[in-house]
Structure 1
Amino acid sequence: MSRIVLPCSFDDLDVMARTVYGEARGEIPVGQVAVAWCIRTRAEIDLGHDGKPDWWGEGIGGVCLKPFQFSCWLPNDPMFPKIKAAKTSQLADCLKACYAVLVGEAPDPTGGATHYYASSIAVPPWAAGKTPVAVIGAHRFFRLI
């Protein structure tokens, strides 16, 4: 029997699936798993090992909804109204990917990445000069912590 390996409510799972939908809806399944793993990795890391809230949010939902961390949640992003209105049937593949990541059934294809960007955009300043730890589908993944 599978179990969630870190605290996660149904609302957290929904927000995580909507984030993966907004960020990787057209990706191959492993690409959706990779984005979900970035979310999980961030939720598990305690920056500074101090038990205090981290700059990128706390918990699954907090990490996803922290302003400026996932562009699909920005009100002016074209995906924002789509992720808000998406029906469960549209989210099915993303929900499966997120659940598999949360219960530990899907291995981390990113090797612990904390950041990524789509190769269709210009290299963001935070990635300039850095080597990705993985390239999966249309995304480049980085471990910056």
Structure 2
Amino acid sequence: MTHTLTAPRVAGATDILALTLWGEAADRPVRAIEAVASVVMTRVRLAAEPGGPARFGFGVAGVCRAPFQFACWHPGHPRHRAIAELSDGADLGSCRRIAARAVAGALPDPTGAATHYHAEELLPRWALGLTPTAEIGGLVFYRLVA
């Protein structure tokens, strides 16, 4: 299953990552946006390894838009339509700069190689009993892949 949202104006991995960061964390501090970008890049790296988790998708765009991985790409998420309605050249603020740094490999990972996260005010079932690797800007991070 693939997501139905298309973004024809999006030229590449950096743009898809910037949209993902905007959809997932634009209302959070810059450090939290950087941390979400680190989660994406950790998943990209892990999925590229032999026998890596295919559910993460492949490549930056594939990881960002893999089914059921980043909520902003799911048709039922409030930011899903907002992403589709962004105008060409929309100001994504720091999301675009952070995405460019992440894709270039120039973004330090403050999450301890986390693969998952949730808002601190929530506690999803998958996080019960797990020890977070970091808490940044209202997000709690975990590493669920060895």
TM-score bracket relative to the smaller structure: 0.7 to 0.9
Divergent runs of 4+, >3 A: none
Query: For residues 25 and 49 of structure 1, do their structure 2 counterparts lie closer, same or farther at Cα, with a shift above 3 Å needed?
Result: same
User: How far apart are the structure 1 equivalents of 2:144 and 2:34?
Assistant: 19
* Length, aligned pairs only: 135
Deviation at 1:86, TM superposition (A): 2.3
Deviation at 1:111, TM superposition (A): 1.3
CA RMSD, aligned part only? 1.9
SS at match of 2:13: helix
Q: Which runs of 5+ in 1 are unaligned?
A: 1-8
The match for 1:142 is 142
| Separation (CA, whole Å) in 2 of partners of 1:132 and 1:93 | 25
Report the secondary structure of 2:69's partner residue.
Answer: coil
TM-score, normalised via structure 2 length: 0.84
Q: 1:68: which partner in 2? A: 68
- Hey, what does 1:85 align to over in structure 2? 85
Instruction: Indicate the SS of the match to 1:117.
Output: strand
Task: State the identity as a percent.
Answer: 39
CA-to-aligned-CA distance 1:27-52 (integer Å, 9 cap, x gap)? 1111111000100110111487337x
Q: Which amino acid aligns with 1:66?
A: A
Query: Aligned equivalents of 1:47 and 1:10: distance in 2?
Result: 22
Offset, 1:100: 1.3
5 Å matches for 1:1-145? 10-46=11-47, 49-50=50-51, 54-87=54-87, 88-121=89-122, 123-145=123-145
Given that residues 15 and 99 in structure 2 are in contact (C-alpha distance below 8 angstroms), is that contact kept between their aligned partners in structure 1? no
